[in-house]
Amino acid sequence: MQKRSIAGFLMLVVCLAFVVTPRMSSVVAQGTPPLPVVAIHVSEQTQAFESMPAGPNTPKPPAVADASGMEWWPTAWHYFVMAESVKEALRADGTPYVIVTDAEIAANALLQPDGSPKYPIVISLAAEAIHDNAVGPLRAYVNAGGFLFVGSSSFTRNPDGTTRGNFALSSEMGLRSTGANLQNWYENRIFTKTADHRLTTHIPGGTLNWHFPLTAEEIPLGTTANHVVHQEHLAWAVTATDAAVLATGSSGPLLATKAYGGGHFIYDGMMQPLIGLGGNDAGMYSYFILRHAVEWAFEAANVPIVKVSPWRYPYDSAFIVRHDFENFADSIQSIEANAQQEALKGAKGEYYFTTGTVRLGSPDTQLTEAEKQATIESLRRAVSLYGATIGSHNGGLANPVNPGLAPTSYDYWHWGPDEALDTNPQGYAGGKAYAAASIAQSFQDIEGWLVGLDNGRAGCGSAGNCPRVWVSPYFNSGRDGSFDVLEQVGAITMGEQKLSPFPHWTVSTA
């Protein structure tokens, strides 16, 4: 319902593979073996907060200007995004999962009839609402040997929206909320590993920049001429009682774990810990915290990790060389030579640049008209002789934020649709329409130059359906309005939303 996809690389085929975890035995020590799937908690009671008017103690405007006026009061992210991001990350890496609801948890659906865990791990991100009748079943699940991955503010509110003042399982988790009210969020930008642990073996020591988007509408690198990398993200402030703190943020524990009974609690303080935007975010590192948690839980349960493989190609891996040549005329002119060298090594390169730099008749004068024509012929040879793929890096229309830039300047063509959405260019219905027209023009440039050639897919030239591939200037196409634009113009790829190391569909955030 609240997830939609732009066409991308991923096409699932049903192909089972068994990944044997280290030290895994084939015999389960006690009880019925759990199902070899991950359980994702999708809280219908928390989702109901989105449409429930804010009560007297819930932040609301005008006192809190950016509050929604509903019980799900933060406007940074909709609740559903957190669960959808887990689903998509697992789909991308091929891990089967099931959904468990509040009602199912309350009905003891996390346990087998003999009282053993039904699933090795349950992941619950920002699932704030919890009824008293679900607290005991969650406790029993972990006590029986299950792993419960708790994200940020999960289990801190009652179904009517009032605060519990703490986690419902605070003692069991070994953590307490630092503040008792609903405004217990802080803006974090760092990750300091404080202990060696299997969850963090992939993360270097020391204090690291831990950049993630603060909101779903944040522009990753800002607009012309104030391109600033986004840094802060929301985290829930906690204090450790007897949990093992594995990492801290700027205001206390960010990652922690505690053994309880036969199982473990794992806590991640980030509100939205998976979706990164662009090349500066720590999305891959954060994904592997989740990945290691899954592996740990399956190993402890003595069950194999079953894979539904997303890989449909006759090779074990793929290598793609991507070149972003911006508006650099000399680099664009070198594409043929680069493609030739890559072909000699058995590689095929993807080349992205602002098409206005080369378009005949454009106001960009870095190249003469004769040089532009020669460059177009060179691009045709790069594709036809060496298998290069030419993609859009915009270049259709001038920068809507600063249209007074000289056509030869870097940002004249080099802007992402995120930057246009809040503008009102003359002659267009709005910034979204302007962005769509610009990107569509850039694709038309490429298709006109390469007519009849297989640009990106064998046989597409004669069929006239070569894929429209895109990467955004400054990574600035992560807002939901930009997803609309890219879908409208027929782009099949966008490289800005990072959710796992694997090809994945784009998760809508609106």
- pLDDT for position 226: 85
pTM of the model as a whole: 0.91
Q: How far apart are CA 356 and CA 274, in angstroms?
A: 35
- pLDDT for position 322: 82
- pLDDT for position 434: 99
Tell me the three state secondary structure of residue 374: helix
What is the CB-side half-sphere exposure of residue 342 using CA atoms within 13 A? 23
What residues in the chain have per-residue pLDDT under 50?
1-29
- pLDDT for position 311: 61
438-463 pLDDT per residue, tens: 999 999 999 999 999 999 999 999 99
- pLDDT for position 30: 66
The pair of three-digit structure tokens given for residue 237, joined into one six-digit string: 């402030």
What is the CB-side half-sphere exposure of residue 199 using CA atoms within 13 A? 24
Contact in structure between 92 and 10 (CB atoms under 8 Å): yes
185-221 pLDDT per residue, tens: 999 999 999 999 999 999 999 999 999 999 999 999 9
CATH code of the region 321-498: 3.20.20
Domains of the chain, residue spans: 28-308, 321-498
CATH code of the region 28-308: 3.40.50.880
CA quadruple 443, 444, 450, 451: dihedral positive or negative?
positive
- pLDDT for position 32: 92
